[in-house]
Chain A
């Protein structure tokens, strides 16, 4: 079965880079996603990467994918206090079903 794992917590200082890691098990996933959840809100899609790509950059966000190790990471450059949130990685399965990790709570200290 599929399982997606993330570390629970990350704390960084404002202006530093944040790296959030994720491991997954379903090698047949076509897309992998990063979602952001702010307090009291639903999940907001941040970015995604197609499984045949190694890297994707979108402004301050860089996604790295290592298919051999089934490892996905999200790097946030110049982290701001507004980036404080819970970040979920997710992989898609057949029929566009998503399997989510447990989420990483990012805390940005001023």
Chain B
């Protein structure tokens, strides 16, 4: 039982390149989230999904797209990477409500040159 896994762990891109980050879970949770973490700013929600086939914008969605084609996977795409997207990206999962809070993956460190 791996919980939440993220691929890749590290990546360096040049400005304008594209890439996709993969989040996979084996806990059968309905909700999945993508956050970015920048120094001194905590985590900010990029996009989230409340179920297979659904996505919604979070606090900082610009420059990112997401897809949830399968319940266990949540993909985060950068179509044209910018240096401002240099960050650590975390995926999280949860059940819909209640005390069962969010469980986080180990993170992906992305650098855009």
Contacts and interface: CB of A to CB of B under 8 A. Distances in A.
Contact of A33 (B45, B50, B101): B101
B42 A41 contact: no
A88 B107 contact: no
Contacts of B43: 43, 88, 98, 100
Interface residues on A, range: 20 to 34
Interface string A80-107: 0000000010001001111011110000
Contacts, number: 52
Contacts of A48: 99, 101
Interface of A is mostly: strand
B106 A45 contact: no
Contact of A98 (B99, B102, B105): B102
Interface of A: 4, 8, 31, 33, 40-45, 48, 50, 88, 92, 95-98, 100-103
B99 A31 contact: yes
A83 to B, nearest CB: 19
A42 B43 CA distance: 11
B97 A96 contact: yes
A100 B102 CA distance: 12
A8 B101 CA distance: 24
B34 interface: no
Interface of B: 4, 31, 40-45, 48, 50, 58, 90, 92, 94-97, 99, 101-107
Contacts of B95: 96
B41 A102 contact: yes
Contacts of A95: 50, 97
A89 B45 CA distance: 15
Contact of B106 (A33, A41, A100, A101): A41
Contacts of A98: 43, 45, 101-102
Nearest to B107: A42
A31 B101 contact: yes
A42 B42 contact: no
